[in-house]
Structure 1
Amino acid sequence: MKSLHCVVTGNVDSGSFLAWVHDQAAALSLTGWVRKLETGKVEVLAQGDEEGANKLRTLLKQGSALSGILEMKADWIDYEKSYDRFEMR
């Protein structure tokens, strides 16, 4: 399934940033997941409407009010699994 894969770097390793990403994705009716990596970066896989995924991409570049985004890398990938909701891992 065509999916948006993002890795966000900066002041993003708090649980509040993960919750913020979850809420933004759910509001855009996207499915997939968000998780914190051991490096302190945050990884996001979003599936659904391409317009909604592009909106999430823009939001991730800006970050939440409490985060400080240094870098956000995003690519469209073909992911073998599809999801029925957006989850925090």
Structure 2
Amino acid sequence: MPSLPAGWVAKRCLISGKVQGVWYRAWTIEQAQARALKGWVRNLADGSVEALFAGPQTKVDDMIAACHQGPPAARVVEVGVEDFAGDIPDSFAKRSSS
């Protein structure tokens, strides 16, 4: 994996609660693109949402904080965060559900 630019971080998040069927992925894409982040978001079979956010530390931290609220119909219970060391896409997009 190419190294991240100086000051950048990559975080994998697992968002649980009422986060499917409430436009959470679309909201995440909109919010991540507004922050010029790279990564992806997808639904998981257990009803949670998984996301990867890569970008400047402050913007990633801000995005993770926003994930605790989500779109109006969402009811977020928990946002788990861990460092990510895999491949980073060139943009932010929706991935197929897993």
TM-score higher than 0.5 here? yes
Deviations along 1:26-74, one digit per CA (max 9) or x if unpaired, are 0000011000001110000011111110001000012211100011111
Detail structure 1 runs of 4+ shifted over 6 Å in the superposition: none
Higher RCO (CA < 8 A, seq sep 6+): 1
Offset of 1:15 from its aligned partner? 6.0
| Matched residues, number | 88
Give the counterpart letter for 2:92 in structure 1.
F
Specify the code of the residue in structure 2 equivalent to 1:85: S
Letter in 2 for 1:35: R
Q: Is 1:3 matched up with 2:10?
A: yes
CA distance in 2, matches of 1:45, 1:86: 9
Counterpart residue number, 1:37: 44
Larger helix percent:
1
TM-score w.r.t. the length of structure 2 is 0.83
2: CA distance, partners of 1:16 / 1:64: 7
Q: Percent identity?
A: 28
Distance 2:88 2:82 in 1: 17
SS at match of 2:46: coil
- Map 1:9-88 onto structure 2 (within 5 A): 9-14=16-21, 16-79=23-86, 81-88=87-94
Q: TM-score, normalised by structure 1?
A: 0.91
Task: Say what the alpha-carbon RMSD is for the aligned residues.
Answer: 1.2
User: Unmatched 5+ residue regions in structure 2?
Assistant: none
User: Larger Rg: 1 or 2?
Assistant: 2
Q: Look up the SS of the partner of 2:23 in the other structure.
A: helix
Measure how far apart 1:77 and its partner are.
2.3
| Counterpart amino acid of residue 46 in structure 2 | T
